[in-house]
Amino acid sequence: MTEDQPLGWLPLLSGVLGSALTLVATAVVFWIRRPRLLLSFTARTRGCVVDTPSLGGRQRVLRILVENCGWTSAHKVTVSAIKLKFYPLQGSPSVLADDVLEFSLALQNRSVFDLAPGAHRWVDVVYADDLGQDVNLRFGFAGHTPLRLNLLGFGKRGSYTFSVIATAENASATKTRISWHWDGSLRGLTIRGWWWPIFVWAKSLVVERSKDDQIDRNRLAGPVSDTAPPEGGNANAAKGWLSGRALDLNHRPQEPSP
């Protein structure tokens, strides 16, 4: 090959570089225009806390706001709970982590939907139903709710934390964690921060520990005089009664140390 002859590999290299640039540009455009799902669950977000009349009573519903912040429609969107945790008012927390439970669309009997660019929908998380007698708690899962939830204490008073994931056919998955508390009343179903269930559980442990310590102190002190304090407002008699109890406690034999 002489210097005047063109190089034969230049057209091939140009074709390869052109194809590569086309693929990169297509990928960048798709990434920019792709659907982007956003989940919101706060007390200040519109539609997340709804009070409404129901058949035979009243109802409060907590909902997740699902938004498409992308430039194209999201297809076959689902919002699911992948880890459920319940913190009772007393006792240890319960966890359900081996089921994926889909939330139903608000006012719908389905859990799969499309979401246009800039559009939004809500999915139901939990309901508090007041039918005039007791207030009951139930969840907004589509289909059948596992019976294990009842066995684990879900649906009772306490705090709840769910790990939630939103998926779509043509969008990346979005994860978040939601928390709420229920005190047994209709208005007592409230959205809280993710830290709230841990705080409530830790507080219950402190209270139980304090009760156990008080029981241990009473047992170590042993029985004291059963004589009731004098009645009638006699200050001297009451002072003498307190002094007698103090002497009884001071002269009580101590238990041998282990």
Residue 53: CATH number of its domain: 2.60.40.10
d(CA 256, CA 251): 15
Q: Is the pLDDT score of 237 beyond 70? A: no
Number of domains in the chain: 2
Residue 56 banded pLDDT, cuts 50, 70, 90:
confident
Q: Which of 152, 170, 194 is the last residue of a domain?
A: 194
H and E: helices and strands count for the chain? 4, 12
Indicate if 190 and 67 belong to the same structural domain: yes
Q: 171: domain range?
A: 37-194
Is 124 among the domain residues? yes
Does 249 have pLDDT greater than 50? no
Do residues 63 and 124 lie in contact, with contact meaning Cβ atoms separated by under 8 Å? yes
Q: Residue 247: which pLDDT band, with cuts at 50, 70 and 90?
A: very low
Select the more confidently predicted residue: 125 or 12.
125
The answer to whether residue 253 is domain-embedded is no
* Domain-ending residue, one of 165, 194, 223: 194
Residue 105 in any domain: the answer is yes
Please give the pLDDT value at position 17. 73
Could you tell me if 55 and 138 lie in one domain? yes
Q: Are 103 and 142 found together in one domain? A: yes
Q: Is residue 136 domain-shared with residue 242, that is, in the same domain?
A: no
- The more confident residue out of 127 and 255 is 127
User: What are the pLDDT digits (tens) for 107-157?
Assistant: 999 999 999 999 999 999 999 999 888 999 999 999 888 889 999 999 999
- Residue 4, pLDDT above cutoff 60: no
The token pair that represents 198 in the structure block: 């841990």
Establish if 6 belongs to a structural domain. Answer: no
Reduced to 3 states, what is the DSSP secondary structure of residue 222?
coil
Same domain flag for 96 and 124: yes
Does residue 122 fall inside a structural domain?
yes
Mean pLDDT of the chain: 81
Same domain, residue pair 71 and 180: yes
Q: Contact 129/54 with Cβ under 8 angstroms?
A: yes
Q: Is 20 part of a structural domain of the chain?
A: no
187/218 same-domain check? no
Tell me: do 188 and 107 sit in the same domain: yes
